[in-house]
């Protein structure tokens, strides 16, 4: 088993996913996805005379949506149900049934909930960020969310990351979303570090897959959802429940 020590002699940077690693917004994202998909699936079942099978907050979210760009998550889940929905675009009217509009509806819902309730922090994740910075390592936040900056600002932790690569960056630079390693590789490039001298910290299956495909020096899986075996199977070198175990 690889050493769990994240030291300045072995590494130059640590690349953190945000939702589910440092902030508890993953729960918000999952709940909003369920609302959006269930509304769509209920109407789709009615119109096609099919059985309504709701979106599962655990299996469907973890397998098809978690860690992915919005539209890729929509496509992935709908494909699992045998539903082929056209892509759509920014000109879609509210309530229009398209991949774009479903993703946008979820995004709007997330922003509303964040404005109403704020952002909760995983103290162990925050402790690890501060720990590695004290050791002189650089830090980056790598998120598929286009709301990443708003979440960082709401949580008052934006200054803890030297680089941010998020859903807006991926779109602007036309990068592939997780499980492709592009976003993590871009973060390493912006920091001026090599992947083999960098650590990826992720709670999503698609995220650890991205870390492994990018040949990063250490891929840490955070088992927030009781999915330690799946994280290990999909690319995590080590899996932890509490990130403070790495801040020693």
Task: Single out the catalytic residue among 12, 19, 124, 166.
Answer: 19
Tens-place pLDDT, residues 33-75: 999 999 999 999 999 999 999 999 989 998 899 878 888 999 9
- For residues 124 and 234, membership in a common domain is answered with yes
Tens-place pLDDT, residues 75-105: 999 999 999 988 888 777 766 789 999 998 9
Task: Single out the catalytic residue among 12, 17, 166, 227.
Answer: 17
- For residues 152 and 192, membership in a common domain is answered with yes
Does 68 fall in a domain?
yes
- For residues 134 and 236, membership in a common domain is answered with yes
Boundaries of domain holding 109: 27-117
Q: Collect all residues with Cβ–Cβ distance below 8 Å to 248 and sequence separation of at least 6.
A: none
92 included as an active-site residue? no
Does 7 fall in a domain?
no
Length of the chain: 248
Cα dihedral 121/235/182/175 (nearest 10): -80
Answer with the one of 63, 89, 117 that is the final residue of a domain.
Answer: 117
Tens-place pLDDT, residues 193-231: 999 999 999 999 999 999 999 999 999 999 998 899 999
Domain count, the chain: 2
**Residue 114: pLDDT band with limits 50, 70, 90:** confident
pLDDT given for residue 29 in this prediction: 84
- For residues 138 and 215, membership in a common domain is answered with yes
**Residue 179: pLDDT band with limits 50, 70, 90:** very high
60 included as an active-site residue? no
- For residues 235 and 184, membership in a common domain is answered with yes
Question: Measuring CA to CA, which residue among 171, 169, 149, 168 is closest to residue 158?
Answer: 149
pLDDT given for residue 25 in this prediction: 81
pLDDT mean across residues, the chain: 92
pLDDT given for residue 4 in this prediction: 67
pLDDT given for residue 68 in this prediction: 85
pLDDT given for residue 1 in this prediction: 44
- For residues 81 and 163, membership in a common domain is answered with no
Distance CA 176, CA 154 (A): 27
């Amino acid at each position: 088993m690889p050493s769990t020590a994240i030291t300045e002699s072995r590494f130059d940077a640590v690349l953190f996913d945000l939702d589910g690693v440092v902030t508890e917004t993953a729960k918000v994202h999952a709940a909003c996805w369920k609302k959006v998909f269930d509304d769509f699936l209920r109407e789709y079942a009615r119109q096609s005379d099919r059985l309504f099978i709701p979106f599962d907050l655990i299996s469907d979210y973890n397998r098809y949506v978690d860690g992915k760009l919005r539209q890729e998550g929509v496509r992935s889940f709908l494909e699992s149900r045998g539903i082929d929905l056209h892509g759509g675009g920014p000109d879609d009217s509210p309530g229009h049934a398209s991949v774009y509009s479903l993703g946008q509806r979820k995004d709007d819902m997330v922003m509303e909930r964040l404005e109403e309730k704020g952002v909760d922090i995983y103290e162990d994740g925050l402790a690890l960020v501060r720990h590695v910075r004290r050791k002189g390592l650089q830090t980056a936040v790598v998120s598929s969310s286009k709301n990443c900056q708003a979440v960082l600002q709401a949580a008052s932790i934006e200054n803890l990351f030297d680089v941010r690569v998020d859903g807006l960056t991926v779109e602007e630079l036309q990068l592939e979303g997780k499980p492709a390693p592009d976003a993590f590789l871009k973060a390493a490039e912006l920091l001026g570090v090599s992947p083999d001298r960098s650590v990826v910290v992720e709670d999503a299956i698609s995220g650890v897959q991205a870390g492994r495909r990018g040949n990063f020096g250490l891929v840490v899986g955070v088992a927030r959802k009781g999915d330690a075996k799946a994280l290990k199977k999909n690319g995590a070198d080590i899996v932890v429940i509490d990130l403070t175990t790495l801040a020693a």
